[in-house]
């Protein structure tokens, strides 16, 4: 019995081979899309934005209003924070405000000619004051860099003189508000603007004792390693820069939760 012949195989054409390749690629792409597609609960996350919300401070980051209630501040928002940060700071002769028995003490190293210090003092500090009031004690320590801020030393001396008359925080408001004109006699005019005794203030500005107090602040800041301003120690926890309110709140709030 004669064996039947096998059907002859049809030679493949270049077009058919390309069709197979393209079909395989399309299948791989479809599978990848199905695996990567987010679930229904995640796909709408963050899709709604309130266009009428207040604009952020300086055009970046959360607004003061939003930052004050932030609960999920990114962990890397703090340069460092921990009990091993410097805490033994000599604040014996520095201006302060808030309750003496406050749960939290914030030591601020600041420069009257530093733009970021101005931002903190005028925008972030008032928000924190509104949140915590006298439950947080603030201490101001002079830290400036004369090479870049030639007017900062005299402004710091003026602050010490205003503090001797119980008007440091009023002086700080005035100086930061006029920061861009510090070289135009702003420090000398502070007595009349803030309500200081002008003769006493003038003598203090030129006194060696006051200059020594400012130099002591500088030395203390250098000992701790304050390399930029503003710099804060919140019960020994380091916070660098004019951070949003939520960053400070991340460090401050737990002290009140423990009560």
- Give the CATH number for residue 71: 3.40.30.10
Helix (H) or strand (E) holding 118: helix 115-119
User: pLDDT per residue over 105-156, tens digit each?
Assistant: 999 999 999 999 999 999 999 999 999 999 999 999 999 998 899 999 999 9
CA–CA gap between residue 12 and residue 44 (Å, rounded): 48
Does 215 reside within a domain?
Answer: yes
Helix (H) or strand (E) holding 161: helix 152-164
Does 145 reside within a domain?
Answer: yes
CA–CA gap between residue 100 and residue 136 (Å, rounded): 9
Q: Which residue has the higher pLDDT, 257 or 198?
A: 198
Instruction: For residue 56, count CB atoms less than 10 angstroms from its CB and return exposed for 0-12, middle for 13-18, buried for 19 or more.
Output: middle
pTM: 0.68
User: pLDDT per residue over 198-227, tens digit each?
Assistant: 999 999 999 999 999 999 999 999 988 999
Does 161 reside within a domain?
Answer: yes
pLDDT at residue number 159: 98
Does 9 reside within a domain?
Answer: no
CA–CA gap between residue 103 and residue 100 (Å, rounded): 9
User: pLDDT per residue over 55-113, tens digit each?
Assistant: 333 333 333 333 333 333 333 333 233 343 445 788 888 999 998 888 899 999 999 99
Does 25 reside within a domain?
Answer: no
pLDDT at residue number 242: 95
Does 8 reside within a domain?
Answer: no
| Domain count along the chain | 1
Q: Strands (DSSP E) along 149-245, which ranges? A: 231-234, 237-240
Does 147 reside within a domain?
Answer: yes
Region 5-16: mean pLDDT is: 47
Does 34 reside within a domain?
Answer: no
Domain limits at 245? 65-257
């Amino acid at each position: 019995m004669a064996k039947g012949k096998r059907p002859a195989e049809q030679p493949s054409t270049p077009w058919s081979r390309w069709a197979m390749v393209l079909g395989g690629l399309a299948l791989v792409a479809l599978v990848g899309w199905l695996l990567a597609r987010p679930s229904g609960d995640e796909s709408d996350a963050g899709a709604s934005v309130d266009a009428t919300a207040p604009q952020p401070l300086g055009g970046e980051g959360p607004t003061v209003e939003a930052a004050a209630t932030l609960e999920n501040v990114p962990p890397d928002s703090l340069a460092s924070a921990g009990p091993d940060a410097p805490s033994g700071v000599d604040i014996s002769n520095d201006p302060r405000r808030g309750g003496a028995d406050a749960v939290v003490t914030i030591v601020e190293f600041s420069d009257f000619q530093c733009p970021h210090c101005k931002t903190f003092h005028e925008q972030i500090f008032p928000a924190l004051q509104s949140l915590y009031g006298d439950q947080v004690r603030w201490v101001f320590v002079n830290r400036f860099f004369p090479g870049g801020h030639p007017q900062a030393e005299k402004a710091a001396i003026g602050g010490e003189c205003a503090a001797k008359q119980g008007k440091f925080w009023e002086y700080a408001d005035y100086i930061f508000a006029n920061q861009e004109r510090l070289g135009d006699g702003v420090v000398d005019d502070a007595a009349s603007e803030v309500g200081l005794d002008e003769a006493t203030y003038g003598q203090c500005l030129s006194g060696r004792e006051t200059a020594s107090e400012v130099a002591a602040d500088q030395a203390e800041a250098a000992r701790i390693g304050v390399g930029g301003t503003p710099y804060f120690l919140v019960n020994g926890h380091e916070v660098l820069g004019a951070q949003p309110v939520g960053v400070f709140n991340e460090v401050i709030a737990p002290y009140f939760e423990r009560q």
